[in-house]
């Protein structure tokens, strides 16, 4: 009824008795329905019903028809296939959307991981390659400090080296970084979840600022008046006394920690690079890095099918070679844990939680914990986890694997994080 009237509204008097099945003026009809709808709660229901009916018919908004009893309507995106499809063929719409999304994705991937012309990932070189014991970096206790992040397998290498070499905090200090590219000024490493948390040694806000400060301190050619130019990566080994960066290459950090005495040559330490196995370790390190350590990233960061296929084949070849070696020996280079095992282990521990499902390394179905294709590799993982001192406490596997889904936006744009994989899920411990 019109306000103040006891008589029902006669649509004919308003010229609305013969509305077409598809309204010519949908907005006017919505306004009319809202203007003369009953008051209080029923008025709100009428508004929802009228608006939903009109907008669904017109396809103007991303929600389709919903229940008016309080249930949320369905999200139909922009409803392009129903609306624009009447004008533009569906095939052309789909093709345009795919090409537009792929262009944006490849640009984001190139920012995340440098590509060559074939769409294959090319890991950049590192600018700092000093070693403890060099003329510039004396082998002393308490002089060196290591910056590492739990998710990173390259950082995990450095942590394992310090742990297995029994390097105490007074010999080598360690700062644990947090990965959050939304808060970092470059790269992804910060010193804590709160902006007020800073580097305890140099007072820097994030790793980029630390690179700036320690690069400028030695007049490094990579630095300028505007700061350090390059990728701000971890692990990072620094000399606190001279305020210089020693190295940001994980292989060099593992080797230099493996050989350093930190001023105490009498302390018993695990020998990671024994002279009698050095050539065998170097040979194993080369193919483990090429086929597996870097191979899984070449799978995940490939932007063409050909680049992915080549990388995935390399991963399977690397696992086959590991299976062959470990079916004959307890460890990769014999009956003792060496640097070669240390460099493979961080990749193996992250394989089922991240590299297999997210990077599709070797095929999205491949899991080391299945113990079907590579049983000797899995037994080796259990042996390292249970029998090698310091391995268990070196990593939080669930956090490490979850980080790939949280932070690698181009690979997981929806941001959904799967149920974390734990050591128990991998069959490493009961």
What is the residue whose two structure tokens read 């037994």?
379
What is the residue whose two structure tokens read 């029902």?
8
Kindly state the DSSP code that residue 344 receives in the 8-state scheme. H
Q: In what side-by-side order are the strands of the sheet with 172-179?
A: 189-190, 172-179, 144-149, 236-239, 244-247
Catalytic member of 297, 374, 404, 405: 297
Q: CA 191 to CA 201: how far, in whole Å?
A: 11
Q: CA 342 to CA 311: how far, in whole Å?
A: 22
Q: CA 2 to CA 50: how far, in whole Å?
A: 17
Q: Buried b / exposed e across 343-365, counting CB within 10 Å, b at 16+?
A: bbbbbbbbbbbbbbbbbbbbeee
SS3 label, residue 174: strand
**Tokens coding 419:** 């149920």
Q: CA 298 to CA 304: how far, in whole Å?
A: 11
How would you classify the pairing of strands 189-190 and 223-224? unpaired
**Tokens coding 65:** 């028809």
The Cα angle at residue 302 between residues 300 and 305, in degrees rounded to 5: 115
How would you classify the pairing of strands 189-190 and 144-149? unpaired
CA 20 distance to own-chain centroid: 55
How would you classify the pairing of strands 172-179 and 189-190? antiparallel
Whether the upstream peptide bond of residue 235 has omega within 30° of 0, thus cis, is yes
SS3 content of the chain, % helix, strand, coil (to 5): 45, 10, 45
**Tokens coding 93:** 């719409």
Residues in a beta bridge with 115: 121
State yes or no: is 152 an active-site residue: yes
Catalytic member of 144, 152, 211, 401: 152
**Tokens coding 376:** 């000797």
Q: CA 277 to CA 6: how far, in whole Å?
A: 101
Q: CA 107 to CA 90: how far, in whole Å?
A: 26
| Alpha carbon distance, N-terminus to C-terminus of the chain | 73
Kindly state the DSSP code that residue 125 receives in the 8-state scheme. P
Q: Hey, which residues are catalytic here?
A: 152, 297
């Amino acid at each position: 009824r019109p306000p103040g009237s006891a008589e029902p509204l006669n649509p004919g008097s308003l010229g609305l008795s013969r509305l077409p099945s598809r309204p010519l003026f949908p907005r006017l009809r919505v306004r009319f329905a809202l203007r003369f709808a009953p008051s209080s709660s029923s008025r709100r229901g009428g508004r929802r019903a009228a608006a939903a009916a009109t907008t669904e018919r017109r396809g103007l908004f991303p929600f389709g028809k919903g229940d008016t009893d309080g249930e949320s309507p369905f999200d139909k995106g922009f409803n392009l296939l129903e609306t624009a499809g009447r004008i533009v063929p569906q095939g052309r719409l789909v093709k345009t959307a795919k090409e537009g999304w792929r262009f944006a994705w490849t640009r984001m991937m190139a920012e995340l991981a440098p590509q060559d012309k074939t769409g294959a990932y090319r890991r950049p070189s590192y600018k700092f390659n000093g070693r403890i014991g060099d003329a510039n970096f004396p082998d002393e206790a308490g002089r060196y400090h290591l910056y590492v992040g739990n998710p990173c397998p390259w950082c995990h290498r450095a942590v394992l080296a310090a742990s297995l070499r029994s390097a105490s905090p007074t010999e080598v200090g360690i700062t644990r970084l947090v990965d959050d590219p939304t808060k970092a000024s470059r790269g992804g490493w910060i010193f804590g979840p709160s902006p007020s948390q800073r580097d305890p040694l140099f007072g820097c806000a994030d790793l980029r600022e630390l690179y700036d400060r320690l690069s400028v301190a030695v007049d490094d050619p990579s630095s300028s008046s505007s700061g350090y130019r390059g990728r701000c990566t971890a692990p990072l080994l620094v000399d606190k006394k001279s305020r210089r960066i020693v190295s940001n290459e994980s292989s060099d950090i593992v080797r230099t920690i493996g050989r350093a005495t930190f001023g105490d040559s009498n302390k018993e330490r695990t020998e990671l690079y024994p002279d009698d196995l050095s050539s065998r370790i170097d040979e194993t390190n080369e193919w483990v890095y090429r086929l597996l350590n870097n191979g899984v990233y070449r799978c995940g960061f490939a932007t063409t099918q050909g680049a992915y296929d080549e990388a995935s084949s390399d991963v399977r070849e690397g696992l086959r070679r590991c299976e062959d070696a470990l079916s004959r020996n307890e460890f990769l280079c014999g009956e003792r844990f060496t640097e070669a095992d240390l460099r493979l282990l961080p990749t193996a521990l992250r394989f089922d939680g991240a590299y297999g499902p997210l990077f599709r390394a070797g095929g999205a179905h491949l899991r080391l914990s299945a113990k079907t294709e590579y049983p000797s590799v899995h037994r080796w993982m259990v042996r390292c986890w249970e029998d090698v001192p310091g391995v268990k406490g070196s990593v939080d596997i669930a956090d490490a694997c979850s980080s790939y889904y949280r932070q690698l936006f181009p690979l997981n744009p929806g941001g959904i994080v799967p149920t974390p994989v734990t050591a128990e899920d991998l069959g490493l411990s009961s």
